[in-house]
Amino acid sequence: MIAAIHQPNYLPWMGYFYKIVNCDIFVFLDNVQYTKNGYINRNMIKTPQGAAWLTVGVLTKSRHGQLVSEVEINNSLPWSIIHQKSMFQSYSKAPYFKNYASFFQEIYARKWERLVDLNEALIKLICQILGINTVKFLFASELNVSGHSTELLVDICQAVDCDIYFSGPSGQDYMDEQFFVNQRITLRYSDFKHPAYNQLWGDFVPNMSIIDLLFNEGEKSLEILLGASS
């Protein structure tokens, strides 16, 4: 059984879904401290002017130390309208925009309070569009696990009864690999190599939200994603 663990990011990039497609269980790491200026509440799309952020405003004042699961969206800001308008301006000329735009519009039409719920809905929608339907999604906050760093990751792996942990390559920089060995859990690192694909607005720009791939490549997106290895 292969497990991957990651914070529930907003409209993640291709490498995030490469982790999902290569595991049996994907655990949203929502029981850790929320950090500003990361990818949990924002991501990048390619616009006619170049790469630009789509950011979901969240409530942080007097909430230092809040967990990812506790982060609330600042609905006094018209963020959903801005994001839909940005998507239309950037991708309405993309070959597959009309195929998928209504699915995203349906999600943005709902009233979201917690950021984690919005991100979960978008990630599962994108998996559905891609045809990734064999992965079980869980939340770390529901697994009765504790600890920090490597200890937390190992506790999660044990809670979901996996024997292989599929990590991003940056895990080599901070994880205690021996701790996994001691618990008889095999470490496997992602070999994701960002592929080039058809894109609007000039030269190819990597590391955009996966919606850039979907709107430009449509039903070929999963094949492109699966080929993104060394």
Q: Which helix (H) or strand (E) holds 70?
A: none
pLDDT for the residue 230: 59
**What is the pLDDT at residue 174?**
85
Point out the residues of the chain with pLDDT beneath 50: none
For residues 73 and 56, the answer to whether their CB atoms sit within 8 Å is: yes
Structural domain for 218, as ranges: 2-226
pLDDT tens digits, 187-225: 999 999 999 999 999 999 999 999 999 999 999 999 999
What's the domain count of the chain? 1
Side-chain half-sphere exposure of 199, counting CA atoms within 13 A: 22
Please give the torsion angle defined by the CA atoms of residues 59, 65, 69 and 72, in that order, rounded to the nearest 10 degrees. Answer: -10
Sheet order of strands, 136-139 included:
136-139, 25-28, 2-6, 164-167, 186-189
- State how far the Cα of 180 lies from the Cα of 151, in Å rounded to an integer: 9
What CA–CA distance (Å, rounded) separates 103 from 121?
11
Question: What dihedral angle (degrees, nearest 10) is formed by the CA atoms of 194, 134, 125, 209?
Answer: -10
Cα–Cα distance measured from residue 155 to residue 161, given in angstroms and rounded to the nearest whole number: 10
Residue 146: predicted pLDDT: 85
pLDDT digits (tens, 9 = 90+) for 33-45: 999 889 999 999 9
How many Å apart are CA 3 and CA 110, to the nearest integer? Answer: 31
What is the predicted pLDDT for the residue at 41?
98
pLDDT at residue 61 in the model: 87
The helix (H) or strand (E) run that includes residue 196 is none
Task: Return the residue matching tokens 């994603």.
Answer: 225
Q: What is the DSSP string of 40-69?
A: SSEEEEEETTEEEEEE--B--TT-TT-BGG
HSE, side-chain direction, 13 A CA sphere, residue 145:
27
The pLDDT of residue 110: 96
